[in-house]
Structure 1
Amino acid sequence: MTPPDSALQVIGGAAVLLLAWLLRPLVRAGLDRARARRTPPPEPRDSDDEWKLREASHRRDVLRPGLLHAAFDRESVSLGDDSEWHWRLLMFEENLPLSAALGPAIFKVLASVPDGQATWLIELREDVRAPQRSSAGELERPGLVRITPLAVVAQQWTAPHLLHADMSVSRLMGATLHARYLGRQDPDGVAGAPHPIREEESGTSAGYDESQVGANDRVMIRVRAPRPGAAV
């Protein structure tokens, strides 16, 4: 007995729907391939352009007006380190206390040694009398520098040991923070020893002209504020 036409139509429609459902992955894959052919591949990154963008961003960051600054210099930690230029101008967005500035952030400019045991004595050097030179650049009279030991910093410590009352970084402007490398000396012993303020003759000035310092010799020092309730 032949099924009625209505039944055949229902069976045929169901078969078409089933076939369409089975073919969905193939149709989707075909559409994805067609879309991929229409979308051009991304252009390869130019490493030189990326470096230029980073350099431009750094220049905008450290050359902004209104930043606080202090010069920094350090002694070398090895013979190979002698060939490097260590002088930098530290830039600050806010008037941080010295204790915060000499925390982990200072290791952006303070060398770390492989064994993780390095002790530094941080001194403030200020001109009492600037050196005098002839028109030919020869030293005629040495300058006089006042040296104030400020803190002991150790690679194995998370915070400095201040040798005097804390101060703000604005107090450092126009002078130089100098880091004396003390090798693997016990930092607790160094912190407990006397560190008197002294004056020394010098052929170089501890001052600087901020307008003459290029972007490459400037380092931004940022300190992340502690979370509310976090231990200090």
Structure 2
Amino acid sequence: MTLPDSALQVIGGAAVLLLLWLLRPLVRAGLARARLSWTRARRTLPPPPRDPQDEWRQREASHRRDVLRPGLLHVAFDRESVSLGDDSEEHWRLLMFEENLPLSAVLGRPIFRVLASVPGGQATWLIELREDVRAPQRSAAGEPERPGLVRVTPLAVVAQQWSAPRLLHADVPVSRLMGATLYARYLGRQDPADVAEAPHPIREEETGASTAYDEAQVGANDRVMIRVRPHPPGTAGQAPPSATRSPRSS
């Protein structure tokens, strides 16, 4: 026997009401969560914009802590200018090291943190070691009386287009260079291979300034931390050096 349509409608309506009654706690919980989320969204303020000065001060403080730690190795560095505009800037820096790295590792890509980047991607540098032989003398009035004398030892050829240096002497750890100055002579776009093949004798030059420095007087802004993965001596160059003489052995 088929129920009349009116009875089916009553049964269907009752089923819907029963379902709504059963779902009432879930609906209330959903509405409560939505209301809470909306309230929190209204109360939550957007984060304040970052102050670029604060970020700069944080980076500066981190750099100071990094390069002013006791026990670091250090070697002075200076270079020639590459342009008239470059002349107005001070190029002297104190390179800082956590490890006693080989010179070949330092003169790879890390040295370009203190070498100028030349447009065109091709620039050749001759890296020399400058050591005081005789300090310049001045009178009581501060006038120069006798020039100083420095010993200049060519160490390596470095090129912006090379990934590693061409050593002119046997590789040495940076601790052997402390107290002297690494000096970079800018040779423009000369072929670095030709420069490396040319003779580079050790020589002495007169100078009006000493290479000596007081590490305690060097500020954080004049220090550059050099971190590299060490390479075994003699294996990091683009072409291994043929000489076996140490730069301070003669």
TM-score by shorter chain over 0.5: yes
Instruction: Give the 5 Å matches for 1:79-158.
Output: 79-158=84-163
CA distance in 2, matches of 1:33, 1:206: 69
Paired residues, number:
228
Give the aligned residue type for 2:99: E
Rg (Cα) greater in structure: 2
Q: CA deviation at 1:45?
A: 1.4
CA offsets, 1:25-61, max 9 Å, x none?
Answer: 9876654332222222212212212111111111000
Instruction: Give the 5 Å matches for 1:212-227.
Output: 212-224=217-229
| DSSP 3-state at the match of 2:61 | helix
Residue in 1 aligned with 2:40? 35
CA distance in 2, matches of 1:219, 1:27: 58
Give the aligned residue type for 1:65: P
Change (3 A) 1:215 1:10: same
| DSSP 3-state at the match of 1:86 | coil
CA distance in 2, matches of 1:179, 1:75: 6
CA distance in 2, matches of 1:55, 1:36: 36
Q: Is the 8 A contact 2:102 2:230 kept in 1?
A: no
Q: TM-score, normalised by structure 2?
A: 0.82
Query: Which stretch shifts more, 39-48 or 204-213?
Result: 39-48
CA distance in 2, matches of 1:100, 1:78: 27
| DSSP 3-state at the match of 1:14 | helix
Query: Which stretch shifts more, 146-155 or 216-225?
Result: 216-225
Q: 1:49 aligns with which of 26, 51, 54?
A: 54
CA distance in 2, matches of 1:146, 1:126: 5
CA distance in 2, matches of 1:91, 1:158: 21
CA distance in 2, matches of 1:80, 1:154: 21
CA distance in 2, matches of 1:13, 1:132: 107
Q: CA deviation at 1:23?
A: 10
Q: 2:179 aligns with which of 147, 163, 174?
A: 174
Q: TM-score, normalised by structure 1?
A: 0.88
Q: CA deviation at 1:18?
A: 7.4
Q: CA deviation at 1:150?
A: 0.2
Q: CA deviation at 1:224?
A: 3.6
